[in-house]
Amino acid sequence: MNRIEKTFAILKERNEKAFIPYIMAGDGGLDSLQEKIVFLEKAGATAVEIGIPFSDPVADGPTIQRAGFRALKEGTTLRGVLSVLAEIRPIVSIPLIIMTYVNPVLAYGMGAFITDAKKAGVDGCIIPDLPIEEEDLIAPILKDSGIELIRLVTLTSPPERMKEIARRGKGFLYAVTVTGITGVRSDFQNELGEYLKRVKSVSNKPVLAGFGISTPEHVREMSQYCDGVIVGSKIIELFEQGDLEGIEELIKAAKSFQSV
């Protein structure tokens, strides 16, 4: 088991929910990455999802796009992020998950990317524009390196496709909770609970809900139906505002939720 599997096994024993914050590497400069990850670990984050800035972020909403463009202006690159993560890894014990797109990986070189990601202590990789039909480009090499490819299902995924995605790999399954891009939302579709129950019914690994979750109430609502949440845009906003207590409140909402 890699760190992701071990971490979720511990959560299951403790009957606790997961909370994975998303941050954009290089937003505020790469020098701030260590400080943010260390803070999130101390605040109780299960893992940290680290976004790689990209010029055409098709799955990202305005908040994450702006963070990505700020990071690009700082000169942030995938190579630079992995170099910093290699320095951070010895002082951080929670899983580190890279969120990137296909093009930066191809530009880096598939083999070189995986070699450097492994050296940096990366535990998982999310590539939202990589369909399962094309994932053999990278999935087998990631698996051999002990890095989990985290797959996504959506509200519009047909049942058979959802089952096919759910049966692949280990780690956890990312259940997208809105139709569209990331971003803070005030409410969710009424059928969301049933959707998450369907995802849970076909998955033999933990299911985490993500996209649009922005309040402690959202965290508790989603936690009724799945194994935890992923929060991105709101985390970026709170870091930008210097509201660390707001981040801690979101994490506490997940950590204090007990499964019935």
Catalytic residue numbers?
49, 60
Angle CA 69–92–239, to nearest 5: 35
Tokens of 250: 């979101």
* The Cα angle at residue 95 between residues 92 and 99, in degrees rounded to 5: 115
SS3 sequence of the chain: CCHHHHHHHHHHHHCECEEEEEEECCCCCHHHHHHHHHHHHHHCCCCEEEECCCCCCCCCCHHHHHHHHHHHHCCCCHHHHHHHHHHHHHHCCCCEEEECCHHHHHHHCHHHHHHHHHHCCCCEEECCCCCHHHHHHCHHHHHHCCCEEEEEECCCCCHHHHHHHHCCCCCCEEEECCCCCCCCCCCCCCCHHHHHHHHHHHCCCCEEEECCCCCHHHHHHHHCCCCEEEECHHHHHHHHHCCHHHHHHHHHHHHCCECC
Which residues are CB-contacts of 236 (< 8 A; sequence separation ≥ 6)?
A: 22, 23, 24, 27, 63, 64, 67
